[in-house]
Amino acid sequence: MGILGGANLLTFVVYKIDIFILSIVIYTTKLLKILLFLKNNSKNKKALQQNAKGLEIDKLP
């Protein structure tokens, strides 16, 4: 029982760490996609202007 309990605790901790790392990876990839999108705004001016209509942003730098 004691060994099994320790193993369950270990798998739980590893599971929590995996979820934490996965959420960081997802967040950073979303952030990078947004940054790349804004970086390419000279190419994507039409798309940015269409997005700006919904976001109440008149002009983007």
- Answer yes or no: are the C-beta atoms of 41 and 47 closer than 8 Å: no
What pTM did the predictor assign?
Answer: 0.45
Report d(CA 35, CA 53) in Å as an integer: 19
Cα–Cα distance for residue pair 42/17, rounded to 1 Å: 40
Q: Quick check: is 8 in a domain?
A: yes
Look up the domain containing 42 and give its range.
2-55
Residue 60 counted as domain residue: no
Number of domain units in the chain = 1
Query: CB-based contacts of 48: which residues, under 8 Å, 6+ apart?
Result: 41, 60
Domain assignment present for residue 16? The answer is yes
In a domain, residue 7? The reply is yes
Q: Decide if 32 is inside a domain.
A: yes
Question: pLDDT tens track of the chain, all 61 residues?
Answer: 456 666 788 888 888 889 999 999 999 999 999 888 888 766 667 666 666 666 555 555 5
Rounded CA separation 14/6 (Å):
12
For 58, the token pair is 């008149």
